[in-house]
Structure 1
Amino acid sequence: MRAKPGARYVETGGQHRMDWQRDAACADAADPDLFFPISLHGPGADQVEQARRVCRRCPVAAQCAEWARETHQGAGVWGGMAMEASGGGRQ
């Protein structure tokens, strides 16, 4: 998924490590908020599943999930992983 403005990123050897985003399936998503549900439970669970459907067809889902773990993203659906406030991913 595309990072919201102000998201942290990691640079390695001068190369921007978020360049995978240009190939992300979510780059064409009508509503970026789909990937940031208010909760992972109740109605938010349906939103998480909708976001995961986009991730399942994404060619860079693995890079997205890895970036989210490396940068400790605490919220959102990244590469099909739902991040909880604890900073971990949930399948």
Structure 2
Amino acid sequence: MWNLLNQDGPFPSDASRLAEPVSAGLSVLLTEGDDEAVLSWQERALCAQTDPEAFFPEKGGSTREAKRVCTACDVKAECLEYALANDERFGIWGGLSERERRKLKRRAV
């Protein structure tokens, strides 16, 4: 199984979550004591069953396939929250690219 934490280097699709502060979900992840429980979402992530290279495209490469996988993923929100809390700078996380996550963080501040 592919472990997202070992890589170098997305976002609720419904509009109602766009208005919700990103930090609201982060507090849940950051306050739980058991790291294994906090990261259990990775076992349910669809990206764990697909080609990891799609989630870390070359500069200028397409993110379309990774985002398509994220759209159907049940743990997309947890993935995005993890990426934001851990300042992941590379790859597609929770359906968002690096640039999209930076933009989201700027809006949240």
TM-score where L is the length of structure 1: 0.73
C-alpha displacement at 1:37, in angstroms? 1.2
More strand by share: 1
Q: Any runs of at least 4 consecutive aligned residues in structure 1 with deviations exceeding 2 A, and if so which?
A: none
Match of 1:88 in 2: 102
Q: Is residue 27 from structure 1 mapped to residue 48 from structure 2 by the alignment? A: yes
TM-score where L is the length of structure 2: 0.62
Q: Provide structure 2 residue ranges, at least 5 long, that are not aligned to the other structure.
A: 9-29, 105-109
- Higher RCO by CA contacts (8 Å cutoff, separation 6 or greater): 2
CA RMSD of aligned residues (A): 2.5
Whichever of the two has the greater Rg, that structure is: 2
Number of equivalent positions:
80
Q: Provide structure 1 residue ranges, at least 5 long, that are not aligned to the other structure.
A: none
Q: Is residue 38 from structure 1 mapped to residue 58 from structure 2 by the alignment? A: yes
More helix by share: 2
